[in-house]
Amino acid sequence: MLTNFQDVANQFKSFDGTAHSGHINSGGIRDLYDEKFLLWKKRRVPFIKPIPIFGNMFDVCRWETTIGEFCQSVYEKTSEPFIGFFILDEPCLLVNDLDLIKNILIKDFEYFLNRTMANNDKTDGVGSNILFLMKTPKWTNVRRKMTPAFSSGKLKLMLKLMLEGGEQLVEYLNEMTKHNRILEAREICAKFTTNTITSTSFGLEANCFNEENSPFRVVARRLYNWKMTWHAIQTTCFFLAPKLVKLFRMQFIDTFSSNFFRNVFWKTMNERMHQKLIRNDLLDILIEMRKQDEVEDVDTLEGDILVAQAAQFFIAGFETTSSTMSFALLELAQRPDIQTKLRKEITDTKKLHGSFSYESLQAMEYLENTILETLRKYPIVPFLDRRCTKRYKIPGHDLVLEKGDMIYVPTMGIHNDPNYYPNPKQFDPDRFNKRNLEKRHNMTYLPFGDGPRNCIGKRFALLNAKSGLAHLLSNYEVRICDRTEKHMKLDPRGFLLQPDKGIYLEFIKTKE
Ligand code: HEM
């Protein structure tokens, strides 16, 4: 129970001079906002003083900072289990306590079925049908149908396509380093993941290493290009201003990209069914699923829902995985000792197993820990969010959440908390060895979220990143160079954690 309300108030007085104890200066805030802005005070929850129109999102709206960084800064300035803030005029609760987070994500999931993001099915046929944006009850059905596509058996079959991508990556580096050893790691990793994800989802060759403007790479660049201002505004609104999304008929996936995905999907699907080809990719799984649904005479996925399931591999998968790989390369370039140890594990394990395979990649524990530590330091999705879907009393506190209330979890704050990760700026894969893992609460690590709404592609992403890094590091050493940014700044326009500029590194062929 929040008995020390005034203490909390005092603590927050120093919070950029804007934090508040719970009483609002009516002179400072227009009447229009009074009712909503008084909500946390009425519920006796400490909160950060909002300003009209923007609530606490002034800096986020003018792209000075990201929601992830905002949540982190609030987390770092309070020891309260939860604290109120406002996204424009909407009250939100930032939950910091690990047991409460566990309740919301896992134990009491039935009260928090959806994310807070907008969903506009009127004009956003593909975007509104990806699982990330979908709401219950539609989400429940599609998630259940899509889960088997990510089973170990299916992943093993898809790995062959990922390994081919790894070989293409090395060939590309061999060619590029003949001319210049300084290369931009983000673009290289994005080419790799665009190739492997196109191959595993749409069953096609994206050809990004040979064709600078391959159609898949062009669409991929559009999806995460926040320099396109209207695109950045629309995406920001999906997170911050759902009402504007409906009003201005905004799209999460623009018409050009949606049409591209529809055309490619139906063309390939029809060819595949006609020629009865088997490629062990997502299309095969979707064809099989439809056949099975026909036999069992149950509703099957149709139209844009089906297209969206292939497109979401691409949308949710290529940028997240490629950013993880390029952040890992940056850290390894700064820590040659870790890089050497990792390369030894990769080459020794490959020798032992005879090749890169599902089994050999699974056996590379230090590689796995390097990727996990990368995602600790750089959680690509830096916060989690849920919308309360029915009245919920927070256990151990007086607070009752109402249907519609928005909950945020400060992933980046937790991942950088020295109480859980001593010296958090230091990159240390050993934080994830078994002994150290057992010491921590499992909610201290949330790069893929948790509970029934966690990342469905987690194991796929880890396998793809492992394959890419194993190929690259067994053939190349990466070093920092004059063009490597000393203090990397994050791109404040995106909702994912992305560097504002490129990651330039020197790639040197290893002797073996
Ligand atoms: C390193 C790479 C990745 C990271 C860090 C990542 C992270 C996340 C996070 C944090 C969430 C939200 C989880 C939650 O709210 O509890 C999420 C959701 C999701 N991810 Fe990933 N992801 C990655 C790769 C992928 C890949 C490769 C795919 C598909 C092949 C994918 C598909 C999805 C989908 C569909 C959702 C929404 C799930 C739902 O609402 O049911 N992700 N991801």
The pLDDT assigned to 32 comes to: 58
What mean pLDDT value characterizes the chain? Answer: 90
- Going by alpha carbons, the residue nearest to atom 19 of ligand 1 is 455
| Among the listed residues 502, 471, 510, the one whose alpha carbon sits nearest the alpha carbon of residue 177 | 510
CB of 461 within 6 A of ligand 1: the answer is: yes
Q: Yes or no: is domain 130-381+416-509 CATH 3.30.1540.10?
A: no
Cβ(235)–Cβ(55) under 8 Å? no
CB of 280 within 6 A of ligand 1: the answer is: no
Mean per-residue pLDDT, 254-282: 89
Q: What percent of the chain has pLDDT over 70?
A: 93
Instruction: Tell me: cis bond preceding 46? Omega within 30 of 0 counts.
Output: no
The pLDDT assigned to 167 comes to: 97
Mean per-residue pLDDT, 112-123: 91
Tens digit of each residue's pLDDT (9 = 90 or more) over 357-413 = 999 999 999 999 999 999 999 999 999 999 999 999 999 999 999 999 999 999 999
As annotated, the binding site includes 455
- Cα–Cα distances (Å) from 149 to 281, 282, 488, in that order, read 9, 7, 37
- Does the pLDDT at position 295 exceed 80? no
The pLDDT assigned to 15 comes to: 41
Q: Which residue has the higher pLDDT, 263 or 302?
A: 263
The pLDDT assigned to 18 comes to: 41
Tens digit of each residue's pLDDT (9 = 90 or more) over 459-494 = 999 999 999 999 999 999 999 999 999 888 888 888
Q: Which residue has the higher pLDDT, 262 or 299?
A: 262
- Going by alpha carbons, the residue nearest to atom 32 of ligand 1 is 457
Domain ranges of the chain: 1-124+382-415, 130-381+416-509
CA of 411 to the centre of ligand 1 (A): 14
End-to-end CA distance of the chain: 62
- Going by alpha carbons, the residue nearest to atom 11 of ligand 1 is 455
Mean per-residue pLDDT, 134-150: 93
- Going by alpha carbons, the residue nearest to atom 31 of ligand 1 is 457
Strand order in the sheet with 504-509: 182-184, 504-509, 476-479
Mean per-residue pLDDT, 312-339: 95
Phi, psi of 209 (to 5 degrees): -75, -25
Task: Give the strand pairing for 90-95 and 406-409.
Answer: parallel
Phi, psi of 345 (to 5 degrees): -60, -45
Which pLDDT band holds residue 6 (cuts at 50, 70, 90)?
very low
CB of 317 within 6 A of ligand 1: the answer is: yes
As annotated, the binding site for heme includes 455
**Half-sphere exposure in the Cβ direction for 284 (13 Å, CA):** 16
Strand order in the sheet with 384-387: 19-20, 47-48, 82-87, 90-95, 406-409, 384-387
CB of 381 within 6 A of ligand 1: the answer is: yes
Using CB atoms within 10 Å of the CB of residue 377, give its burial: 0 to 12 exposed, 13 to 18 middle, 19+ buried. buried
The pLDDT assigned to 451 comes to: 98
- The residue whose CB lies within 8 Å of the most ligand 1 atoms, and thus the one to mutate among 119, 315, 455, is 455
Q: What are the structure tokens assigned to 312, written together? A: 């979401």
DSSP state of 512: -
CA of 322 to the centre of ligand 1 (A): 13
Q: Distance between CA 429 and CA 10 in Å, rounded?
A: 39
Which pLDDT band holds residue 31 (cuts at 50, 70, 90)?
low
Mean per-residue pLDDT, 14-28: 41
- Does the pLDDT at position 429 exceed 70? yes
- Cα–Cα distances (Å) from 62 to 223, 234, 236, 398, 477, in that order, read 21, 13, 10, 36, 40
Mean per-residue pLDDT, 238-261: 90
Tens digit of each residue's pLDDT (9 = 90 or more) over 166-225 = 999 999 999 999 999 999 999 999 999 999 999 999 889 999 999 999 999 999 888 888
DSSP state of 477: E
Q: Which residue has the higher pLDDT, 493 or 260?
A: 260
Q: Distance between CA 512 and CA 495 in Å, rounded?
A: 41
- Indicate the range of 53-67, 197-211, 292-306, 331-345 predicted with least confidence: 292-306
Tens digit of each residue's pLDDT (9 = 90 or more) over 229-248 = 888 888 888 888 888 898 88
| Among the listed residues 510, 409, 508, the one whose alpha carbon sits nearest the alpha carbon of residue 177 | 508
